Amino acid sequence: TGEIPEKIDIEPGLGFALNDTAQIITYRSALVKVQKNDVGGKDKKYKVIAINGESISPSSELFIDNARVYMTAKGTLSLTPYKGWQMQPVWLPSPEAVWSRLTKIASEGYKNFSLFEHLGWSLLRVVVGFFAGALIGIPLGYAMGLSGWFRGWFDPIVEFMRPVPPLALIPLVIIWFGIGEQGKIILLFLASLWIMTISARAGVSGVNIAKIHAAYSLGASKWQIMRLVIVPNSLPEIFTGARVSMGVCWGTVVAAELVAAQKGAGMMIITASKFQMTDLVIMGIVLIGVIGYAIDILMRISENYLVPWKGK
């Protein structure tokens, strides 16, 4: 169960080839001198020609129960036990190790900040960037949906920027805005802006024209049509875009924090990866996933509460 197995004592037995044991560290191989306690084993003419009844020669290998045996050019045996489905903790730590790391970071913190401060700063950056993108994107989307002039000017820009992944903008954002908090917020703002613009434009364009004509026939003004017809009917599309936008921002913040961040979930992950602290990396990934899922649930609850007429 440990990295280094305990030594096992066995009876040497009878004959010139005596029984012996060797300890091999978990997930490693070891050179084994099987003749070290044999009668005449120190003689230069002494050599191993078979293992478990199977012949072996220098620079060849064979497979025995639970191990691979390779004979070096000088006749020394290299024994590599089968790992089966097990992996080294540095590649895939156990759930217990990840949980232990979580409890330790939660109580002691990491890099002079508590776990809640790291997660809180990431969440704050996401919220600020998301609302900044929504604050500009929603009015722009409404303008594009209501005005052919706005659509003609801004639709090519929006459709050009929409496929560009936010991560591709990191070098440009660093050049323009530096590596401080401003650059991170701008990157999240850009990640949110185009999604919110398109969702608002789609919401306005999807309003049933018959409802607008009915409102006009009842004497409604343009402002009343905007407030009572267009906005309520476009909100479902906007909330759908908001859910997508928040998810994109939450995924982008990890990459944004890879650049000179002193606190944040992304900073924890990248710093831990440099020191092969895989348990901390997986802990950060799990926390990001849990928080992202919680954000999506809150967005759904808000949508059901604020837009109860969706789908009706």
How far apart are alpha carbons 118 and 113 in whole angstroms?
7
CB 71 within 8 A of CB 55: no
Q: Angle at which helices 148-161 and 181-205 pack, to 10 degrees?
A: 130
pLDDT higher for 242 or 208?
242
> In the chain, which ranges are continuous DSSP H helix?
95-108, 115-146, 148-161, 170-177, 181-205, 209-217, 222-225, 231-256, 265-274, 278-306
Please indicate, yes or no, whether residues 277 and 230 belong to a single structural domain of this protein.
yes
What CATH number is attached to the domain comprising 152?
A: 1.10.3720.10
Question: How far is residue 21 from each of residues 48, 66, 111, measured CA to CA in Å?
Answer: 16, 15, 45
Please indicate, yes or no, whether residues 157 and 41 belong to a single structural domain of this protein.
no
How far apart are alpha carbons 77 and 115 in whole angstroms?
49
Half-sphere exposure of 31 (CA within 13 A, CB side): 6
Per-residue model confidence as pLDDT tens digits over 257-269: 877 678 888 888 8
Closest C-alpha to 131, from 236, 239, 246, 227: 246
Return the pLDDT at 42.
67
- Average pLDDT of every residue of the chain: 83
Question: b/e for 61-71, b at 16 or more Cβ within 10 A?
Answer: ebeeeeeebbb
Quick check: is 312 in a domain? no
Does position 135 have pLDDT exceeding 90, yes or no? Answer: yes
Residue 312 structure tokens: 């009706």
% of the chain exceeding 70 in pLDDT? 87
Closest C-alpha to 280, from 108, 83, 121: 108
| End residue of a domain, out of 56, 86, 116 | 86
Quick check: is 289 in a domain? yes
Per-residue model confidence as pLDDT tens digits over 211-255: 887 888 888 787 888 888 888 888 888 988 999 999 899 888 888
The one-letter amino acid code at 136 reads: I
Is the Cα torsion angle 49, 52, 56, 59 positive or negative in sign? negative
Domain, as residue range, for 285: 95-306
Lowest mean pLDDT across 23-32, 87-96, 271-280: 23-32
Please indicate, yes or no, whether residues 107 and 80 belong to a single structural domain of this protein.
no
How far apart are alpha carbons 262 and 209 in whole angstroms?
52
Quick check: is 279 in a domain? yes
Return the pLDDT at 37.
66
Largest Cα–Cα separation, the chain: 112
Return the pLDDT at 1.
39
Does position 167 have pLDDT exceeding 60, yes or no? Answer: yes
| End residue of a domain, out of 86, 117, 145 | 86
Return the pLDDT at 2.
44
